[in-house]
Structure 1
Amino acid sequence: KIYLFRGDITTLEIDAIVNAANSSLLGGGGVDGAIHRAAGRELADECYRLNGCEPGNAKITKGYRLPAKHVIHTVGPIGQEPKTLTSCYNRCLELAKVHQIRSVAFCCISTGIYGYPNDAAAHVALETIRKWLDKDDNFDAVDSIIFCVFLSQDDAIYRKLLGSYFPFNKRQEPINLIG
């Protein structure tokens, strides 16, 4: 159910990947630029028609040339704003549920150029997803949630923190670490 993957999110063949986008949704640096380059021009065309996205919100598109079927674009806060970052994860998970997405990979949202401290951002990600899975029928709405990290620093942070948020899933299976 919960996985950690270190590598390129654009290579994952799953239902949806999450893009840490800017408010225009038209591509930028980091993971946003990598996703747009890998998906091709059609992604930018669809994003243009979405008329941007507010921080804390999310919008969904097709994956186009990506192995992932969909891209969920979310705009994180600039700086350390836990409420906005929590909203990003919740909005992405709500979209996944509505669109019957069974597997979703999250990149690190708002770290890097947006300046959210990596360890604090990981705590928000893990706590928010844990709470979401424990609510209503959400646990059965998804098969896998992947925390996709690119930097060794983030890999170390998630390896250290994952067990305290997800010691076991509801079926008493240990966390799977892939990659």
Structure 2
Amino acid sequence: MMEIEVVQGDITQQDVDAVVNAANRAMRGGAGVDGAIHRAGGPAVLEDCRRRFPHGLATGDAGWTTAGELPARWVIHVVGPNRTAGETDRSLLTSCYRRALEVADELGARSVAFPLVSAGAYGWPLEDAADAAVETLRSTPTSVELARIVAFGRSAYEVVVGRV
């Protein structure tokens, strides 16, 4: 059974097999978690994104690249729904977590750090984003042994830790 833990901190500093990136469809870097991962991972992450995802990635899907200079070995990129742009289908959000675990299993990753996908600039309500993360991580069969939810800020941490 997978352990779910919650920490407050910086996802780019997590010493795990894979970190999950809340990416945009273009897969070329951006703001928030995406920008932080690309900055900390260095140019190798973007180069691998361009090579592996020349046409980007669909909302709700996941794919992996090198982690470059990050402590992790891989970055698992997911594209969450952009609620501020009218994407309100919650199944696209839960698909991000499910697909990330599937990709982690393909890679043989045993520890994975997750942000709260779509809860930042994409405008998904924090409480529901936390519920979607925890519910999906608990219900998805996987060989991952540790799922670490990395909350950015104290308020996000408080919301998530109350659900685990």
Q: Aligning the two structures, in what range does the TM-score lie when normalised by the shorter sequence?
A: over 0.9
Structure 2 residue aligned with 1:145: 147
Which amino acid in structure 2 is aligned with residue 116 of structure 1? W
How far apart are residue 152 of structure 1 and its match? 1.5
Structure 2 residue aligned with 1:78: 82
Give, in whole Å, the separation in 2 of the partners of 1:86 and 1:156: 21
1:34 aligned residue (29, 36, 39): 36
2:113 is the counterpart of 1:109: no
Contact 2:10 2:152 in 1 (8 A): yes
Larger radius of gyration: 1
Residue ranges of structure 2 left out of the alignment (5+ in a row): none
Give, in whole Å, the separation in 2 of the partners of 1:142 and 1:93: 7
1:100 aligned residue (86, 108, 116): 108
Give, in whole Å, the separation in 1 of the partners of 2:161 and 2:103: 27
Contact 2:65 2:76 in 1 (8 A): yes
SS in 2 for 1:114: coil
> Cα RMSD between the aligned structures?
0.9
Give, in whole Å, the separation in 2 of the partners of 1:22 and 1:12: 21
How far apart are residue 160 of structure 1 and its match? 1.4
Q: Within 5 A, what are the aligned runs for 1:30-179? A: 30-49=32-51, 50-51=53-54, 52-79=56-83, 80-132=88-140, 135=141, 138=142, 141-162=143-164
Give, in whole Å, the separation in 2 of the partners of 1:62 and 1:159: 29
Contact 2:101 2:144 in 1 (8 A): no
Which amino acid in structure 2 is aligned with residue 66 of structure 1? L
Residue ranges of structure 1 left out of the alignment (5+ in a row): 163-179
Aligned length in residues: 156
User: 1:48-93 CA deviation, whole Å, 9 max, x = no partner?
Assistant: 1212111000110111100000000000001132110011111000
Give, in whole Å, the separation in 1 of the partners of 2:10 and 2:161: 17
Which amino acid in structure 1 is aligned with residue 71 of structure 2? P
User: 1:9-51 CA deviation, whole Å, 9 max, x = no partner?
Assistant: 1011110000000011110001110100001111111101212
Could you list the runs of 4 or more consecutive aligned residues of structure 1 that deviate by over 4 angstroms after TM superposition?
none
The TM-score, its normalising length taken from structure 2, stands at 0.92
Contact 2:6 2:150 in 1 (8 A): yes
Structure 2 residue aligned with 1:8: 10
